[in-house]
Amino acid sequence: MSENIPKTELLYNKSKPIDHLNISDGISLIIQEQKNASLEVAKSAKFIEIAINSIYEHILKYPKGRLVYVGAGTSARIGVQDGVELYPTFSWPKDRLDFIIAGGKEALLNAIENAEDNEKMAEKIFSEKQICKEDVVIGLAASGNTPFTCKVLEKANLKNALTIVISNNSKGKILRYGDHKIVLNTNEEIIAGSTRLKAGTAQKICLNIISTMVMVKLGRVKNGIMSHMVPTNEKLRKRKHRIKNEI
């Protein structure tokens, strides 16, 4: 295969193909590779720490700036999964959170043909969102080469926004556009190209770390408790009552 193909697209050769394994061995292989995903995140811990501190300082400098997640396909969905929890968990203002998704909101539930390749749409959405220097733009791409995501990050740089890029390919083009570059070298998937697996897990862990520690530094956690939690149902209202008694 061509050396230009991202490792996330290559065939996994550390075992028999997963469809040649029995269920038990298949489960074990998946579990092991998920563990490996977390180890790859650990290797980038220092770069993640630097990014966290930079985001924190940027937020303090620009108290109206937004956290903006950018991605296509699985990466977009993982970004949304992380971002939407910031309001109920930490009371992060909804008007300081946004998403730029290839294919729009519909792409969260459906695969939109050619969406990740549409640079013109990236430019259009970027303009509509009015990204500026006050914002923090976090872009994710398993291949590191997604045209839509790269274009958004390129435009964000021109606006002097703080850019954080997360790539599962050390040679990904997206890395050109990051003030902070985080590489999660998850390599081949057990199903070639299915980055919803190991690459997706590594991205989720990475975003969990970033968003959690930024909110901790902002004082939105106290004694390991969600001190700023927003109760949106009966279970959470009871939790909020317990939190008030514990703090």
- 178 in a structural domain: yes
Domain for residue 65, yes or no?
yes
| Res 244: pLDDT | 72
Residue 179 three-state SS = coil
Number of domains composing the chain: 1
Domain-located, residue 192: yes
**pTM of this prediction?**
0.93
Which entry of 9, 85, 119, 123 is annotated as an active-site residue? 85
Q: Residue 214 — pLDDT band, cuts 50, 70, 90?
A: very high
Residue 54 lies in a domain: yes
Give the model confidence (pLDDT) of 172-212 as tens digits.
999 999 999 999 999 999 999 999 999 999 999 999 999 99
pLDDT beyond 50 at 1: no
CB 151 within 8 A of CB 119: yes
CA angle (62 as vertex; 121, 70 as ends), nearest 5: 25
Q: What angle do CA 51, 54, 58 make, to 5 degrees?
A: 140
Q: Considering the domain boundaries, does residue 1 fall inside one? A: no
Asked, for residue 2, whether it belongs to a domain, the answer is: no
pLDDT in tens, 42-61: 999 999 999 999 999 999 99
Q: Kindly report, residue by residue over 122-151, the tens digit of the pLDDT.
A: 999 999 999 999 999 999 999 999 999 999
- To the query of whether residue 116 is one of the catalytic residues in this protein, the response is yes
Instruction: Determine, yes or no, domain membership for 235.
Output: yes
User: Which CATH number do you get for residue 65?
Assistant: 3.40.50.10490
- 191 belongs to a structural domain: yes
Q: Which domain holds residue 27?
A: 7-246
- Give the model's confidence band at 242: pLDDT under 50 very low, under 70 low, under 90 confident, else very high: confident
Active-site pick, 116, 134, 154, 189 = 116
